[in-house]
Structure 1
Amino acid sequence: MDTDTLVSIGLTKGEADVYLTLVKLGNTSSGNIIKTSKVSRSKVYDVLERLKQKGMVTEVTKQNVRYFEAADPKRIIEYLQVKKEDIEKKITSSQKIVQELNKVRSLQLERQEVKVYTGIEGLKTVYNEILDDLKKGDEYLAFGVGEKEIENEEIALFIKKFHMKRAEKKVSAKIIMHPETRKKMEKFSKLKYYHYRFTDIKFPTNIALWKNNVLTLVWEDKPIVFVMKSKEVAKKYKEYFNDLWKSSHK
């Protein structure tokens, strides 16, 4: 057997040379080991100590002289078995660490992100981005739709086109609004994948929900749109919306 095989299972070159020397010589002194293995005197005792720790070498002292002998070669299998068990323990520990690290990483990935859009053009930009983000089978939810976006012809036309394009993508929309807007919402009533209900609750802002996003539209002199990306926040809003949907009427 050459030393490469022993090195491949985890021994150093020096350990492999010394172990093979002991297998060939049997019980012998360090001087013979040095002479045969070519491992220097300054290193041989460290090598022998490591082999003893691995259970591959035994030592006895006779008349104040230290003698060394190779353990039964089956100790190589036992040594590898111990290494295997140690690796398995490390893998188990690593799996737990990986799970914890993934939790931390997920929190980083799910960090809240807020964008602000202002003015009519900002409003158009965010709705175009929503269209790009929505895919077939997704759901768009909104409540608090008010007078201003319906009365403003430019906005009303843009929103209608938004819903037409949304319907083309086969994205379902559910809208909750105040009864005061009923007549003005008739222009949207024939759109596909468009469902709406009414509630007597008046909302101070307009809210839209899709995927992990929450849009808040505030009407001042010019519209201001806040878009928050947060899985947890969106989940809470959707739960509230679904409860409100059940209690709303057609």
Structure 2
Amino acid sequence: MVGNTEILDTLKSIGLNLYERKIFVALLAKGIATAAQVSEIAGVPRSRSYDILESLAEKGFVVVQPSKPIKYVALRPSEALEKTKENLSRKHSEMVSRIDSLKSSKVLDELENIYNQGFNLVRPSEMTGTLKGRFTINRQLRSVLKDAKSNVHMVTSESGLKDLHQNHLRILKKVARRGVKLRILAPTADRSTVKAMSEIAEIRALKEDVGRFTVVDDDHVFFSLTDESGDESQDVALWANSPHAASNIAKPLFEKLWKNSGTIGK
């Protein structure tokens, strides 16, 4: 097997699976080879090497030579990466176009009706979920925030306030313009962040970091379960669409913290 762990991990980050990574690196080292030859170098089962090489060809990493037996040539890495970028960009544009078409079609109405019918059968205890990764957490939070109707209460950290400013400011501005009341509790943060957030929300200072949670419309609640100083991909949060948890647990805790908080410098 050729290629160190760093190389294989980097190729994984651009969407190649384990066998694809091994075979591509092996073919780079060999230059040109049959499926049997490259499978032996890569340590990949020969029966799998054919479909893996075809996959790499479709993705722009490999060129197929129509000889007997068929041989494969690895493209120069810089060229392969450029082709991959072009393919991903094209597929992304196509998918966005399909989604936009779906959103304006009657199919969406039918899907919404199916969802609403199913939603009425779901018990409140089932409307919960564990969210892993900061991207996933932020995506679900944005989804809930955009439908806020009356109030949003947030307890966060100094870096959490910066994250709100960087990732949620636009949607928070929209809900604030609709008349939704926004209140945020956070430890002392930098002035520019506080100033920007103070234009749309009432912000008060916590004496110390007490964790992170959000209550929306006394219906939805988010609780962060991990230390934010770790890897973003390992962030975990609990989300619940539970009026009981929001109104009887999270909201009273927020009000107590709010009562004991101080003014925050702008």
TM range (shorter): 0.3 to 0.5
Structure ID, larger Rg: 1
1 or 2, which has the higher strand percentage?
Answer: 1
Query: What TM-score comes out, normalization by structure 2 length?
Result: 0.45
Query: What TM-score comes out, normalization by structure 1 length?
Result: 0.48
